Chains A and B, each alone.
Chain A
């Protein structure tokens, strides 16, 4: 009984091991490029910036930001957002 169980365990181990090394013998179509990560990062930054623009608008409405600081911050955010959109377009066009 014990040896049968050991045999089953060994068999199970073999299956699991084969499963793990299977990709070595398989054709892999997908190969991630660094541009994918860069695109993810830019996309993420873009969403943060959109949110930040909404956020400072709300902060200004509440009165938490002076007009000068609000204008300066908004210009900076809009500028950074447009730079990022340009970079995204460039990566996508390539």
Chain B
């Protein structure tokens, strides 16, 4: 009965969705408010039905109903309950249902939040959301249905189980958070579309999209960070970013989304860049769908991607429709959106924002080109030429450093224009200190990008600290407050600005972490019991090897004593080699997996991977890496989240309005 309920819910949702879109579009023509009310109620029902279908699938996964093909393919009796739950997004059809589930939640929030406002925009915005929901519903009903019965003429006693790589707690959080970001951009896109359709080009549009975009951007940023954390902890290659096509798929909308968050400030303050902002948010949405296409189609080989499927052309067609419709809409709206204001000087903060936008979009284009190059090369030359990390690093490191510099320059520029005296006054200390830092780094033996990155990091930190200092000083002078009170009130009075500065500090910390990669060390070796090897100034001794059988896998657990140059104990690392489905009589179904162990300090990580084992001779093969400054990347991530939360925190007036 339950699978039937799931399938019926999805079909009904699609039916109600089509009706709702028709009614809402009729309302925009006729102005009969009843039609809007019915359309809105139907939109609510669509979302509720999708939520019901998702809950049904979750229930089937947890109760191991192997009569459903999806459940049999992604769980087994031995799978721990939490991973039975996370199997919801482990496979193609489940993750598509999860996509539309999140969109349904967003749709309900949007309807509830705006039930008494944006009367002209709401029917259009709701129609756009419904059309996106319908697209995913059609896929889950007709192309890859998660409620499809198992194709076997016997009772399936056990399922295939979940991929061991996905049996990790970070993996339980990373996809939903990333999806929150990916799917969330549908709402600002819907409002932008609605604004263009209704000729709303001012304050209401900014108000409707800004907070949504920021929440969504926070989710996307956190999702990307969690993905990096998962890769670092689970994949065993010692890094957190590999320029994998699917990583790039999440990075591209992040870049355009970040550009949008900057340029929307100009629109809010100066009523400029309206066309550019509409293009940016539309591009961001199109990139989220394109990213979903990359993951689903199987055209790219990636650790994240699903197997080849018929979804590719459908997604590509959807992206093409979105881009075409948006282009036509923008083209038609051009005369109405043009602003009568213009940037007055190249040394103004407005120019800084615009320049920052150009750099973000350039970076996005570089990543896009590198990502689709294999597909283009295959189409043109017949051979798939993959451009790996060297290409992406070569192109993106200089662009990234330019962005880092702008992070410091932007806040120091004045609105309208920066006079020469102000330039000297505000730039001399950050430039001076960063040059001194560069000389120190050069004398310490650092070269190339390392020096530039660290020098720019110093520049940005000094620029931000002086901004805080000047802000506090101004309040102290004007209101006779203590420095602490001035600091607190200054942030409270302008949360978005100072929250943004915290985000910038987070970005600096991340860049320091990225720079640490230049000093990574790596070595592979085999050790018998009580044998010793070294990497850099650190010694590794295998002191114990034991075996353990656990509910869903068998494990060899090694104990590596880690000592310093002086023989002093640093830590004991316990990397494992696991065999999942070890009881399966078919050896091909047993899945080996290396569970690594990391010793972390602010200065460096000692990263150990149990690569393989020679059971006959009792030799364990390890891959050891020493990764300096990696922790800065994660601390930068925390700072970014903190800064965004400060910016998002509603002011008293906003609370009252809500």
User: A28 near B34 (CB under 8 angstroms)?
Assistant: yes
Contact segment of B114-122, B303-311, B457-465, B575-583:
B114-122
Q: Could you tell me the distance between the alpha carbons of A64 and B34 in the complex, rounded to whole angstroms?
A: 53
Q: Could you tell me the distance between the alpha carbons of A31 and B493 in the complex, rounded to whole angstroms?
A: 37
A72 CB, nearest partner CB in chain B, Å: 8
User: A69 near B415 (CB under 8 angstroms)?
Assistant: yes
User: B203 near A44 (CB under 8 angstroms)?
Assistant: yes
User: B33 near A62 (CB under 8 angstroms)?
Assistant: no
User: B494 near A55 (CB under 8 angstroms)?
Assistant: yes
Contacting residues, chain B, for A23 (C-beta < 8 A): 34, 37-38, 41
Is A75 among interface residues, defined by CB-CB distance under 8 A? no
A43 CB, nearest partner CB in chain B, Å: 8
Which residue numbers of A lie inside 8 Å of B, CB to CB?
2, 5, 9, 13, 16, 19-24, 26, 28, 30-32, 34, 36-37, 40-42, 44-45, 47-48, 52, 54-56, 58-59, 61-66, 69, 72-73
A17 CB, nearest partner CB in chain B, Å: 8
Q: Could you tell me the distance between the alpha carbons of A37 and B206 in the complex, rounded to whole angstroms?
A: 14
Contact of A31 among B33, B45, B117 (CB under 8 A): B33
Q: With CB as the reference atom, state the residue of chain B lying closest to A13.
A: B12
Q: Known contacts A9-B8, A23-B41, A37-B204; is A64 also within 8 Å of B414 by CB? A: yes
User: A64 near B422 (CB under 8 angstroms)?
Assistant: yes
User: B470 near A73 (CB under 8 angstroms)?
Assistant: no
Nearest 7 Cβ contacts at the A-B interface: A32-B119, A23-B37, A61-B474, A44-B203, A45-B203, A20-B41, A41-B204
User: B33 near A20 (CB under 8 angstroms)?
Assistant: no
Q: Which of B300-333 contact A (CB under 8 A)?
A: none
Contacting residues, chain A, for B155 (C-beta < 8 A): none
User: B33 near A44 (CB under 8 angstroms)?
Assistant: no
User: B415 near A20 (CB under 8 angstroms)?
Assistant: no
Q: Known contacts A9-B5, A28-B34, A69-B417; is A37 also within 8 Å of B269 by CB? A: no
Contacting residues, chain B, for A2 (C-beta < 8 A): 1
B245 CB, nearest partner CB in chain A, Å: 41
Q: Which of B31-71 contact A (CB under 8 A)?
A: 33-34, 37-38, 41-42, 45
Is B191 among interface residues, defined by CB-CB distance under 8 A? no
Q: With CB as the reference atom, state the residue of chain B lying closest to A64.
A: B414
Q: Could you tell me the distance between the alpha carbons of A44 and B210 in the complex, rounded to whole angstroms?
A: 13
Contacting residues, chain B, for A5 (C-beta < 8 A): 1
User: A69 near B1 (CB under 8 angstroms)?
Assistant: no
Contacting residues, chain B, for A55 (C-beta < 8 A): 494
Q: With CB as the reference atom, state the residue of chain A lying closest to B349.
A: A64
Contacting residues, chain A, for B414 (C-beta < 8 A): 59, 64-66, 69
Q: Could you tell me the distance between the alpha carbons of A23 and B33 in the complex, rounded to whole angstroms?
A: 9
Is B478 among interface residues, defined by CB-CB distance under 8 A? yes
Is B30 among interface residues, defined by CB-CB distance under 8 A? no
Contact of B477 among A20, A61, A66 (CB under 8 A): A61
Q: Known contacts A37-B204, A41-B204, A73-B416; is A62 also within 8 Å of B470 by CB? A: yes
Contacting residues, chain B, for A54 (C-beta < 8 A): 493
User: B415 near A59 (CB under 8 angstroms)?
Assistant: yes
Q: Could you tell me the distance between the alpha carbons of A45 and B342 in the complex, rounded to whole angstroms?
A: 19
User: B8 near A40 (CB under 8 angstroms)?
Assistant: no
13 CB contacts below 8 A, A to B, read: A28-B33, A28-B37, A31-B33, A37-B200, A40-B204, A41-B203, A44-B203, A52-B269, A63-B425, A64-B422, A66-B414, A66-B419, A69-B417
Is B202 among interface residues, defined by CB-CB distance under 8 A? yes
User: A32 near B33 (CB under 8 angstroms)?
Assistant: yes
Q: Could you tell me the distance between the alpha carbons of A24 and B26 in the complex, rounded to whole angstroms?
A: 14
Contacting residues, chain A, for B5 (C-beta < 8 A): 9
Q: Interface of chain B, helix or strand or loop or mixed? A: helix
Q: Could you tell me the distance between the alpha carbons of A23 and B39 in the complex, rounded to whole angstroms?
A: 10
Q: Could you tell me the distance between the alpha carbons of A68 and B34 in the complex, rounded to whole angstroms?
A: 54
A67 CB, nearest partner CB in chain B, Å: 10
Contacting residues, chain B, for A45 (C-beta < 8 A): 202-203
A10 CB, nearest partner CB in chain B, Å: 10
Contacting residues, chain B, for A37 (C-beta < 8 A): 117-121, 200, 204
Q: Could you tell me the distance between the alpha carbons of A55 and B494 in the complex, rounded to whole angstroms?
A: 8
Contacting residues, chain A, for B426 (C-beta < 8 A): 63-64
Q: Could you tell me the distance between the alpha carbons of A72 and B200 in the complex, rounded to whole angstroms?
A: 28
Is B207 among interface residues, defined by CB-CB distance under 8 A? yes
Q: With CB as the reference atom, state the residue of chain A lying closest to B118.
A: A37
User: A61 near B33 (CB under 8 angstroms)?
Assistant: no
Q: Could you tell me the distance between the alpha carbons of A55 and B490 in the complex, rounded to whole angstroms?
A: 11
A45 CB, nearest partner CB in chain B, Å: 4
Contacting residues, chain A, for B416 (C-beta < 8 A): 65, 69, 72-73
Q: Which of B113-163 contact A (CB under 8 A)?
A: 117-121
Q: Could you tell me the distance between the alpha carbons of A32 and B356 in the complex, rounded to whole angstroms?
A: 41
Contacting residues, chain B, for A41 (C-beta < 8 A): 200, 202-204
Contacting residues, chain B, for A28 (C-beta < 8 A): 33-34, 37
Is B16 among interface residues, defined by CB-CB distance under 8 A? yes
A4 CB, nearest partner CB in chain B, Å: 10
Q: Could you tell me the distance between the alpha carbons of A9 and B3 in the complex, rounded to whole angstroms?
A: 13
Contacting residues, chain B, for A58 (C-beta < 8 A): 471, 474-475, 493-494
Q: Could you tell me the distance between the alpha carbons of A21 and B77 in the complex, rounded to whole angstroms?
A: 45
B1-33 interface mask toward A, CB cutoff 8 Å, 1 = contact, 0 = none? 100010010001000100000000000000001
A39 CB, nearest partner CB in chain B, Å: 10
Contacting residues, chain A, for B118 (C-beta < 8 A): 37, 40
Q: Could you tell me the distance between the alpha carbons of A39 and B41 in the complex, rounded to whole angstroms?
A: 26
Q: With CB as the reference atom, state the residue of chain A lying closest to B117.
A: A40
New contact pairs (8) apart from A19-B41, A61-B477, A69-B414, CB-CB < 8 Å: A20-B38, A20-B42, A30-B33, A32-B33, A48-B203, A62-B471, A64-B426, A69-B415
Contacting residues, chain B, for A24 (C-beta < 8 A): 34, 38
Q: Could you tell me the distance between the alpha carbons of A16 and B38 in the complex, rounded to whole angstroms?
A: 12
User: A20 near B202 (CB under 8 angstroms)?
Assistant: no
Contacting residues, chain A, for B546 (C-beta < 8 A): none
B178 CB, nearest partner CB in chain A, Å: 32
User: B16 near A20 (CB under 8 angstroms)?
Assistant: yes
